[in-house]
Structure 1
Amino acid sequence: MPLTADRNTPYKHANAVPVAVAANVKIYAGALVCANAGGFATPGAIATTLTYLGRSEEFVDNTGGANGARTVLVRRSEAFKWSNSSADPVTQAEFGKTVYVVDDETVAKTSATNTRSPAGRVVGIDADGVWIE
């Protein structure tokens, strides 16, 4: 139902959020983190079902654990510098465009014929990496 008066809508800062970790994965501090199809945190990898979340703030080992047995703190809403794929490099022509997840530290220019998930938009390119927001 639409509001008929002011509402004190709750909020929280979402720059760093705990995310339930997928079963049987290790996420290293500083890793590119995605949510899998079930919504659980997993290291970036070549897959079409991942949603880019941000950077892991800590190491979490959920080897042998079930989905959600551990949580990982993921920093969001920032630009992070990831490694540039040597096989499918991001160039200045991709500035402002979406690039794609290769692994937990690397992004690439293309989806490789729809085999990679989107990582985010390019906001900078340095000799040693690509800044993604």
Structure 2
Amino acid sequence: MSLTNDRNTPHKDGELLGFPAAAGVKIYSGALVAVNATGFATPGATSTTLTYAGRAEQYVDNTAGADGGKTVQVRRKRLFKWSNAAADPITQADVNKTCYIVDDQTIAKTNGGNTRSPAGRVLGIDPDGVWVE
């Protein structure tokens, strides 16, 4: 039903969010975090079923827990500098293009023959890493 009066719609900034952790995972502070196909946070890994979430703000050990047994705080809406995959490096020619998740700290230029999920857009390259939005 459409509004017929003003509404005080709840909001939050969305920059720091708690994601329920997947069963059996350990997420290190500063790690690249993704959400798996069932909606739970997991460390970045080579997989086609992950959706990039951001950077872990804390260490969470859910190795003995069920899905959602623990929550990890994930920072979003920022650029993060991830390691550049030596075997599939991103170059200046890849700026503003999609890069792909290799592990919980590394991104690559390609989807690795359809084995990697997208991480985001490359916005800068430094000698020690790649800035990803």
TM over 0.5: yes
Look up the SS of the partner of 1:83 in the other structure.
strand
Q: Give the whole-Å Cα distance in 1 for the aligned partners of 2:20 and 2:36.
A: 11
State the match for 1:42 in structure 2.
42
The match for 1:29 is 29
Q: Write out per-residue CA displacement over residues 54-77 of structure 1, whole angstroms, 9 at most, x where no aligned residue.
A: 000011111111000000000000
Superposed displacement of residue 4, structure 1: 4.1
Deviation at 1:10, TM superposition (A): 1.1
- Deviation of the 1:5 alpha carbon: 4.1
State the percentage of identical aligned residues: 65
TM-superposition CA deviations, 1:82-123 (whole Å, max 9, x none): 000000001111111110000000000000121100000111
Q: Which amino acid aligns with 1:57?
A: E
1:68-83 aligned within 5 A: 68-83=68-83
Aligned length: 133
The one-letter code of the counterpart of 2:34 is C
Supply the RMSD in Å over aligned alpha carbons. Answer: 1.0
Alignment of 1:100-115 (within 5 A): 100-115=100-115
Counterpart Cα distance in 1 of 2:102 and 2:130: 13
Please give the per-residue CA displacement for 1:19-40, whole angstroms capped at 9, x wherever unaligned: 1000011000000000000110
Gaps of 5+ in 1: none
The Cα shift of 1:8 comes to 2.0
Does residue 6 of structure 2 align to residue 2 of structure 1? no
In structure 2, distance between residues paired with 1:6 and 1:81 = 42
Unmatched 5+ stretches in structure 2: none
Cα distance in 1 for partners of 2:2, 2:78 equals 33
Give SS of 2:93's match: helix
